[in-house]
Amino acid sequence: MKYFFATFAVILFQFSGFAQNSFPNREEKTVASRVEILRQAMIDADADKLTALTSRDLSYGHSSGLVQNQAVFIEKIVNGESDFVSIEFQNQTINITGNVAIVRHNLAAHTKDGGIDKDIKIGIMLVWQKQKNKWLLIARQAFKLPS
């Protein structure tokens, strides 16, 4: 009978670990929601939302190697230099450790930067930090995907 209970306890323990890893927790859902709001704010060129979602100390890296701060990132989107017509995030993962969330996805977008239509597909890593009970984007790095 002891073996039955021991085996049952092991199975339950393994299942609970599986369940925790298989279903997003509340913080992951919150971060995913913030990522979605960011996506839409970039399409809408909404300076207020972009400001509210990002840290004043934002480091925003492009796949070309160019790095912008929060003010320049927002300015370039609002003035149309970075004009996103559509953005789709594909294969997104979210990993949270303490008050830091790392979000990875592929970005497929249609832009009209400088009035020129262009389709892009790049990899993205976002770093979010929970500050004063709110998730803020502190870093973003884009990279070229392997061919």
What is the value of pTM for the model shown?
0.83
Cite the beta strand spans of 32-145 per DSSP E.
54-61, 67-68, 84-97, 100-111, 118-131, 134-143
The whole-number pLDDT of residue 76 equals 96
Residue 82 and residue 112 in contact, taking contact as beta carbons nearer than 8 Å: no
* pLDDT-flagged residues of the chain (< 50): 16, 18-19
CATH of 26-143, picked from 3.40.50.980, 3.30.420.480, 3.10.450.50, 3.30.540.10, is 3.10.450.50
pLDDT computed for residue 114 by the predictor: 82
CA distance to 25, 30, 63, 69, 81, per residue, from 143 (Å)? 28, 25, 4, 18, 20
In the prediction, which pLDDT does 84 show?
A: 97
Q: What is the pLDDT of residue 82?
A: 93
Question: Cα angle at 145 between 147 and 76, to 5 degrees?
Answer: 135
Amino acid, res. 33: S
Q: How far is CA 120 from CA 59, 61, 109, in A?
A: 21, 16, 5
pLDDT at residue 4, rounded to an integer: 53
Q: Are 93 and 61 in contact (CB under 8 A)?
A: no
Can you give the pLDDT at residue 125?
A: 98
Residue 85 has phi, psi (to 5 degrees) of -85, -40
Task: Write down the domain spans for the chain.
Answer: 26-143
Q: With 0-12 CB in 10 A as exposed, 13-18 as middle and 19+ as buried, what is 106? A: middle
Separation CA 144–CA 126 (nearest Å):
15
